[in-house]
């Protein structure tokens, strides 16, 4: 009689690991909003989307989707803030800085 099982043994179960890209995206997103502007916001979006794809493809072996999503959202928030700032500066330039000062 053969004592070996009729199927190959399963690989040892490993605990899910947190994505380093997700953590990096979150840090970049926070830096983008707090200090660095688009120099950190754009990489936060790129790295965050990459982390989301990596997490989705891992089949549950990699975690951190929330951190990756937060980094992407913070990156887009910073881009929106920068765009709004550019619109305000352009409006001040176009209207000669007399916005809301009344007539003289």
Please check whether residue 24 lies inside any domain of the structure: yes
pTM of the model: 0.76
According to DSSP, the residues that pair with 18 across neighbouring strands are: 63
Residue 53 located in a structural domain: yes
The domain total for the chain is 1
Assess if residue 68 is contained within a domain.
yes
Q: Which structural domain range is residue 34 located in?
A: 17-94
103, part of any domain = no
Task: Examine residue 5 and state whether it is found in any structural domain, yes or no.
Answer: no
pLDDT at residue number 9: 65
Q: CB neighbours of 42 closer than 8 A, spacing ≥ 6? A: 32, 75, 79
Does residue 38 sit within a domain?
A: yes
pLDDT tens digit sequence for 31-45: 999 998 889 999 999
Weakly modelled stretches of the chain, pLDDT under 70 = 1-6, 9-13, 97-104
Q: Where are the beta strands (DSSP E) in 1-57?
A: 17-18
Determine, yes or no, domain membership for 104: no
């Amino acid at each position: 009689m053969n004592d070996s099982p009729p199927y190959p043994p399963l690989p040892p179960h490993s605990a899910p690991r947190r994505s380093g890209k997700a953590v990096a995206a979150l840090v970049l997103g926070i830096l983008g909003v707090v200090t660095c502007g688009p120099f950190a916001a754009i990489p936060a979006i790129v790295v965050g989307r990459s982390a989301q794809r990596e997490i989705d493809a891992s089949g549950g072996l990699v975690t951190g989707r929330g951190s990756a999503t937060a980094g992407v959202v913070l990156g887009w928030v910073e881009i929106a803030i920068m765009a709004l700032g550019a619109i305000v500066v352009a409006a001040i330039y176009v209207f000669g800085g007399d916005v809301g000062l009344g007539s003289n």
